[in-house]
Amino acid sequence: MFMHKVTTLNQFIVERQAEIPGATGEFSRLLHHVGIAAKKVHREVNKAGLVDILGRVGTVNVQGENQQKLDVFANATFMDELRASGECCGVATEENEGIVVFDEELCREGKYVACMDPLDGSSNIDANVSVGTIFSIYRRKSAVGECPVESDFLQVGTEQIAAGYVIYGSSTMLVYTAGRGVNGFTLDTSIGEFCLSHPLVQTPARGRIYSINEGNYVNFPVGVKKYIKYCQEIDEEGGRPYTSRYIGSLVADYHRNMLHGGLFLYPETNAYPEGKLRLVYECNPVAFIAEQSGGMATDGTRRVLELVPGSLHQRVPFYAGSREMTRKLMEFLEFFNNI
């Protein structure tokens, strides 16, 4: 039987490293450990419901959100693997108020820091809805050998060395970019490896899907309301009306739109006047992926990757996806939000 060539994540990382002059394998080791953590979280997410890994631990995280057992497990797992890589000196995570410094001897020489949402959308888990891990890697600015400081984690998004997400859905995929395109790897559980399944992903310039929680409609900025109505109008060429698709899990909503074409919108609302999504560990990594796959990501007026983070858990309005759809939305915001 002919076996088509399978490229595992580790083979891909090593091959790519060979292309980068002076690459010393440190970043490759870091990414390898991200892959290990993703496999461990996959295992627990996929047996949730069968064992006592579901539900709340009875604690709340820094966001005041009830922590799910899987949140806590995913946070600990990714931290352990990033620490074990020896290349990361600290992590900023949704689950912890401040930065987590890896002070062990092994990590102090680490050149990288990570920002992550270890299990985004976890409130959906007991309903068997896809959830995700979102991560962002920066080169530290503080001196190697010393403890990292908060400013290492508040770098502008264009400084990202790599970013990606793991989507725990009908299959588990790891999607990442290191600035040379976006590649997707699907977990083949029969061999326990992430295998290249979506090489050099390109988001269609326009699509027919818009994703937004229309339950917040009455409080949306007028430009967003007008854009939603634009999506729903019939045009003579049959391009519209678009389809509304919203899962309520950022990674799942974004991933579908990235592959098929579409626009994800999370504007400011009454409940979240700054927007709900976090700049440092949700919007910046997704924005890096968006741009590297030919799409766009904005806070409505500015490029997300150029926003200077003021605090670890800062929220921003977030619009990301097909570039022609994003541009059209920005036209609506520009016109209607300024009249």
| Burial of 190 from C-beta contacts in 10 A (0-12 / 13-18 / 19+) | exposed
Q: How far is the CB of 9 from ligand P6P (least distance, A)?
A: 24
Q: How far is the CB of 3 from ligand P6P (least distance, A)?
A: 37
H/E run at residue 198: strand 193-198
What residue spans of the chain are helical by DSSP H? 9-19, 26-45, 69-85, 105-108, 222-232, 250-260, 284-292, 323-336
Q: How far is the CB of 277 from ligand P6P (least distance, A)?
A: 6
Q: Could you say which residues in the range 86-125 bind ligand P6P, by CB under 6 A?
A: 120-121, 123
String marking each residue 272-311 x if it binds ligand P6P according to CB under 6 A:
----x-----------------------------------
Spatial separation of the C-alpha atoms in residues 162 and 178, rounded to whole Å = 4
| Strand partners of residue 101 | 90
| Burial of 236 from C-beta contacts in 10 A (0-12 / 13-18 / 19+) | exposed
Of the candidate spans 43-51, 103-111, 169-177, 242-250, the one that interacts with ligand P6P by CB under 6 A turns out to be 242-250
Q: How far is the CB of 297 from ligand P6P (least distance, A)?
A: 14
Closest to ligand P6P by CB, 107 vs 287, is 287
String marking each residue 186-225 x if it binds ligand P6P according to CB under 6 A:
---------------------------x------------
Residue 72 DSSP class: H
String marking each residue 247-266 x if it binds ligand P6P according to CB under 6 A:
-xxx--x-------------
Q: How far is the CB of 140 from ligand P6P (least distance, A)?
A: 27
- Name the packing angle between helices 26-45 and 69-85 (round to 10°): 160
Q: How long is the chain?
A: 339
Residues that bind ligand P6P (CB under 6 A): 120-121, 123, 213, 248-250, 253, 276
